[in-house]
Structures are given as structure tokens and as C-alpha cells.
Structure 1
Amino acid sequence: MTDADTAQMPVEDFEELAHTAPETVQIEFINGKLEVRPPTDGTHGEIVMWLVRLCFELRPELGLYQTLGLVTERSCTGRYRPAGVLAPVGHFRGSGEWAAPDGVLMAVEVSPHRPARDRRDFREKRDGYAAAGIPVYLLIDRDAQELVVYAEPARGKYAQRRSHPYGARVRLPAPVAITLDTEKLKDYTR
């Protein structure tokens, strides 16, 4: 539902709303609908920081940017705030609040950890990242205690999907091309 006739509001109105929203509230525009991003917890932050440190250690020429606004979806009307966006250091210099997906190597989401969890990361956002042509999407699913790696975006979908349990060595495909030792993620389970 990214057609302007079926969207809740024009994307420009969403951007204005997002710009004036309090810092404590993060909103996204997913498939033409205003969505409030659930608050993160300390464990979410620890998982993201674990990944930031690994990416810096293994690929120091890349940065894993947090809370960056990203333009997504086929018609470029989506506005997401991934947990992390992997791109060359300096890539977003001069970008506004909502950066284009060109040059982004990977989008990262860490699922909320609660019984009635938010499923946007599993479907809508995954497809929005694919439609934007982001080569790799990494979903860290806290409830299932697994990493799900999506790759090879084509026609708004990822052609490849691989799941790996916490503790596995996970090879992220090119252009990311790093191997994650996920043993540390076991420390972040309940």
C-alpha cells in the first residue's frame, strides 16, 4: 500500500511530523501507514553494540549507523529507522534526516522481546529493504534466539533466506562479507 491514494498521508507530511516529534518517540512510515516504533530496552542496545564492535573490528572502513532514517520501499515512500545501517564510513555526510538507500550494504533489525512482539521486522520492513535494493538484511530474532540473513533482493523480495541459532558462526554474504561469531548473543537471552 504505497500508492499515494491509499496512504494515510503524503510522505512530506509524515516527514514534517517525524521532524517535530519528541525525541522519545520514534515513528516510521511503513506501507503508507504511520507506525510508532516500540521503545528499545537495554538488551536491544547491548546486541546492537555487540554488532557495532564486530563490524568495526572486521571491516573498519564501514560504519554501523544507529537510528538513521532511511528511505525505503519500491516507490521510495517508506521511512524506516533500522537498528543499524551498514555503509562506508562517511557515506551519509550531508544527508538529511532521511538518507537514500544507495550505497547501503546492510540493514539490521533487532526484534523486540515481548510476548505480543511487533512483526513488522519480519515482513513489511524486510520487503521494504528488498524493494529499496539493500543487498543484505540481518534480523536478530530475540524470541527465537536466531539470526536470519536475507540476501539477493529482486522485485521487492529477497531470494535468499538463511537462519542461524545463537552460537553459530554466521557468514554474511557479499558485499558485507564478514563472519559473525554469535556465541556472545547467548548472554542476552532470558
Structure 2
Amino acid sequence: MTTHRKPADLRPTPETVSHPLPGTARELFDALPRLPGLRTEVIDGRLIVSPVGTPEHARVAMRLYGALLPLIEERGWDGFSGNVDVCIDGPRDPVEPDFVLAPADCPRWGERELLSSGLLMVAEVVSPGSAVDDRDRKPGLYAAGLVPVMLLVDPVASPATVTVFSEPKGGEYRTVTRVDMGDLLRLPAPLDVTLDTSALAGTTGSG
């Protein structure tokens, strides 16, 4: 008999998890209870549970939200600074970007997770504990999920940088543009806006 797994918005509690134990990272993610104060993602088949970012880390994400707020309001989009799960189309892996830009009618996987192919942009803020995943793994993951634009804010690099990835195809972004933090950076379609990255200047701690 085939057992149909519940979507992520109906994750069972530990008391209701059926046996045998989940066999994949996605199934384990679905079986977990809510974990306040922790970020839970699946990256390259690994279930990763990590603390939420430091206040400095969150400040950068909020500054990005503030910088894009006029565009969000003008176009009727939704902007989320953390705490929103994204489901990568295809493998259905869940991730939690530091910032998500989406149309108001973005399709979902279940009720909780936004589908990656319906997003406008995601952004990650690099911290020492997330550097390898953010710099090396997340661009390919988001490209495979057909997120049209990824922004990588790297305040722990020397010098600090901001990189925009666009034109996803074949699991990678074909166009990559990097500037020093403080310079102007053009964010391509569907945003078509120039970001003054000096608005993001700041430092971040571990997390």
C-alpha cells in the first residue's frame, strides 16, 4: 500500500509520526515539530538545523527590505525578511532565505511554503557559519528551482561584496555581477531597478 506524505504545512507532531522513521531529509523535515528560534533547511540532501542569525545579520536583511520597499509598494509585491519557507521545485527541498520577494499570488507547496519558480528574488546574507552553503551551494539550488534573481550579500568577505545572479538555466545562473558593498548594483528583470548597496553596509556575527 502506498503511503501519501502530508505536505509541509501539515507536518505531524512527534506523537503522530508513523513508523518506520522518515527515510529522506524532506520526510524528516516534514516530521519535525516547529522549532522556534531555529532555521531548518534541506541542502544537497542534508537536513540542516541552525540558529537564527545574529541581530547584525537580521539588520542587513531588514535594510534590504527597506531599500526595496518603494518598489514593493509600487508593484504590489510581497517582501519577507526571513521566517518564510521556500519549496524548491523538483526535489521539493525546503529552504529559508534571509529575504524573499514574491508576487502577491505566488503559488505554494501546501499552505506554508512558497514555490521557488513563482518567486521574483531571494537574498542570502552570508555569516561565518553559513558561508559555504550561501556562497557555493545556494546559487545552484535556487537556479535549479528557477528563481529568476538571487542576491548574495557578503559582509564577512574582505572587502564586503554584493553579488546578483540571474538567468537561471540548467541548474546554474548564466549571469553573475559582483560589486563592492557601497557601489550601485543593477538588479535585472523582473526587478529592473538599481540598488544602492551602501544601504546594506554593516557587519554580521556568527549564525
> Would you say same fold, with TM above 0.5?
yes
Aligned 1:155-170 pairs, distance under 5 A: 155-170=170-185
Number of aligned residue pairs: 178
1:181 positional shift: 1.0
* Deviates most, 125-134 or 63-72: 63-72
Larger RCO, structure (CA 8 Å, separation 6 or more): 2
Looking at structure 2, the residues matched to 108 and 63 of structure 1 have their Cα atoms a distance apart, in angstroms, of: 14
Larger radius of gyration: 2
Match of 2:83 in 1: 67
Q: What is the letter of the counterpart of residue 126 of structure 1?
A: P
Unaligned runs of 5+ in 1: 1-6
Aligned 1:81-92 pairs, distance under 5 A: 81-89=96-104, 91=106
Aligned 1:163-178 pairs, distance under 5 A: 163-178=178-193
The answer as to whether partners of 2:88 and 2:142 remain within 8 angstroms in 1 is yes
Match of 1:154 in 2: 169
1:157 positional shift: 0.4
Looking at structure 2, the residues matched to 45 and 149 of structure 1 have their Cα atoms a distance apart, in angstroms, of: 19
After TM superposition, the score normalised by the length of structure 1 is 0.84
Task: State, as a whole percentage, how many aligned pairs show the same letter.
Answer: 29
After TM superposition, the score normalised by the length of structure 2 is 0.77
1:120 aligned counterpart, secondary structure: helix
1:8 positional shift: 6.1
Unaligned runs of 5+ in 2: 1-21
Aligned 1:16-165 pairs, distance under 5 A: 16-17=31-32, 20-60=33-73, 61-65=76-80, 66-72=82-88, 75-89=90-104, 91=106, 96-112=111-127, 114=128, 117-144=130-157, 145-165=160-180
1:147 positional shift: 0.5
Distance verdict in 2 for CA 1:10–1:166, change over 3 Å:
closer
Name the structure where helix makes up a greater proportion of residues. Answer: 2
Aligned-pair Cα RMSD in Å: 2.3
